[in-house]
Amino acid sequence: MVLATLHSTQTDVCPGEPVKKDIPPFAATTQAARDFERIARVLDILSLHWREQPSLAWVAAEAGLSEFHLQRLFSHWVGVSPKRFVQYITKEAARSYLADAASLLDAALACGLSGSARLHDLFVRYEGMTPGDFKASLRGRPMTWGEVATPFGSALAVFAPRGLHRLEFFADAAERDCLLGEWRKTYPQAQWQAAEQAQLRLLAQAFLPDRSPAAASNVSSGDKHEGSTLALCVTGSDFQLKVWEALMAIPQGKTVSYGGLAQAIGHPGAARAVGNAVAANTVAWLIPCHRVIRETGMLGHYRWRPERKRAMLGWEQAGLPRPPEGGG
């Protein structure tokens, strides 16, 4: 189950500074972080030893878990056994998911996705609004934030008046506090306050097993009813915005290479620049930068840990329709 939680205390602390005592622990996000760390440990073991076809008992022992706990952890997290899941995270499997980026973007344009509701509030719509203009527009306006428990650990969300502005994973309270402090220093002109639970519930829907990131983008931060649109409001250069919009055309279960993405957006040979733009994305999952990998099948960089990227790709694959699993 995916839970959304928030707290209302603001802070400017980073690691090394004293943490304010009025920031309480939150069971949902803390448990999400613990569960993901266990999952990440198991995935490390499976990715290193999958060719040996290790037994469930051996994997459980290596991970410091009982067989029962390991099986239950995976069943709850992704709905399949560790044995089935490992098939989705190998290098060979990753290469098989690689799609032609140009074809994906052409199909998206043919379906009108660039002008559909799922992108209508993406920041690219507001031409001429630079990050500096964005900051100026916040003067006296609220920026809200809250924590969300996800299948990939705890995430911190920041909402601008126009929609979700940042969604970043964090490992512990110290990293969370540092992120908050950085954001508040970046936007000191904004009025910081706690996000509404309705906003966080909508955001949490993005991580439900039957909701892809693209589908979740069809939900409106302005409309507080379940099923409305969770608008995105991001800032960047024209090139970055073009890359991020292209990322949203990559469907669940598919990946593209950095070079393929560069060619698809009309910048062949700009794979490194595309990689930098992908790495600059600050809205995890909803702008699916985790779906860009190397042509070799190697996952490449991910600002919120490569282990999380691997888990995301496998989790998405496990959610695709397949024949029933036998044994496990």
CA 312 centroid distance within chain = 8
Tell me whether residue 289 is one of the annotated catalytic residues: yes
Find the DSSP H helices in 159-223.
173-186, 197-204, 213-216
How far apart are alpha carbons 151 and 29 in whole angstroms? Answer: 10
Contact in structure between 184 and 40 (CB atoms under 8 Å) = no
Catalytic residue among 111, 178, 233, 289: 289
Contacts of 81 (CB under 8 A, 6+ apart): 56, 71, 74, 75, 325, 328
Alpha-carbon distances, residue 267 vs 102, 270, 274 (angstroms): 12, 6, 9
How far apart are alpha carbons 236 and 38 in whole angstroms? Answer: 35
CB atoms within 10 A of CB 217: 24
For the chain, the maximum distance between any two Cα atoms, rounded to a whole number of angstroms, is 59
Calculate helix-pair angle for 306-318, 27-49, nearest 10 degrees: 90
Active site amino acids: 289
